[in-house]
């Protein structure tokens, strides 16, 4: 398929060919779900921890005698029913991460790219950089394509200047063509793909790489 390439000012320049094996696939919602939730699970720290009655600091002695007080019998002060006692079935440190097969992850990223093309939320932009590294200069480009909303820019390689310019924009994230994240890509309301990155994606996610 052919898609329009836009300038930094939002004007149409030319067309670029996109690989149908990457940008024209049917949307697989199951793959997207697994890819997105795998990334979210892998980001969880799993450090939440509570103390049960065997770990709470306190005496093991009975607070008062068993009979004759008219009160309920108590074993020790660390009982879960008392203030300051242990927690029943509370969280313990654990590993929440899980993974999906590499081929499934690649297929999920391709179906997300295809979804963005189908919904017309992916725009190809000529290669550019922010030489000044200033946020206001990058904001001029973003404002040409609409107001502030969740935006992703896919780069050809690491560009520290454009990343520094976008560091102060909370709704903007950057991805490299060979290190895409399913979560950011799927939830991006606008996806800007640099022209050189588009050509690299054609090859990197093409069937000839065994995807």
The pLDDT tens digits for 68-124 are 999 999 899 899 998 999 999 999 999 999 999 999 999 999 999 999 999 999 999
Is 135 in contact with 169 (CB distance < 8 Å)? yes
pTM of structure: 0.83
Q: Which domains does the chain have, with CATH numbers?
A: 2-30+100-209 (3.40.1370.10)
3-state secondary structure of 171: coil
Alpha-carbon distance 72 to 151, whole Å? 61
For 88, the 3-state DSSP assignment is coil
Contact criterion met (CB below 8 Å) for 95 and 101: no
* Beta strand ranges found along 131-207 (DSSP E): 151-155, 172-176, 190-194
Contacts of 40 (CB under 8 A, 6+ apart): 183
- pLDDT bin (cut points 50, 70, 90) of residue 207 is low
| pLDDT surpasses 90 at 155 | yes
With bands split at pLDDT 50, 70 and 90, how would you rate the model's confidence at 1? confident
- Mean pLDDT across the chain: 91
């Amino acid at each position: 398929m052919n898609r329009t390439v836009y300038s930094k000012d939002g004007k149409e320049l030319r067309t670029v060919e996109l690989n149908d094996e990457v940008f024209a696939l049917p949307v697989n919602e199951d793959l997207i779900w697994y890819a997105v939730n795998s990334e979210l699970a892998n980001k969880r720290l799993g450090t939440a921890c509570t103390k049960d009655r065997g770990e709470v600091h306190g005496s093991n002695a009975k607070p008062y005698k068993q009979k004759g007080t008219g009160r309920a019998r108590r074993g020790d002060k660390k009982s879960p029913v008392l203030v300051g006692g242990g927690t029943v079935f509370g969280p313990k440190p654990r590993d929440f991460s899980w993974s999906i097969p590499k081929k499934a992850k690649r297929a999920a990223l391709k179906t997300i790219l295809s979804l963005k093309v189908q919904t017309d939320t992916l725009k190809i932009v000529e290669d550019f950089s922010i030489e000044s590294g200033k946020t206001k200069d990058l904001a001029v480009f973003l404002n040409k394509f609409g107001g502030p909303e969740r935006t992703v820019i896919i780069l050809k390689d690491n560009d520290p200047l454009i990343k520094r310019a976008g560091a102060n924009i909370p709704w903007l994230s950057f991805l490299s063509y060979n290190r895409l994240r399913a979560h950011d890509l799927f939830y991006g309301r606008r996806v800007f793909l640099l022209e050189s990155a588009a050509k690299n994606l054609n090859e990197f996610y093409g069937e000839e790489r065994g995807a």
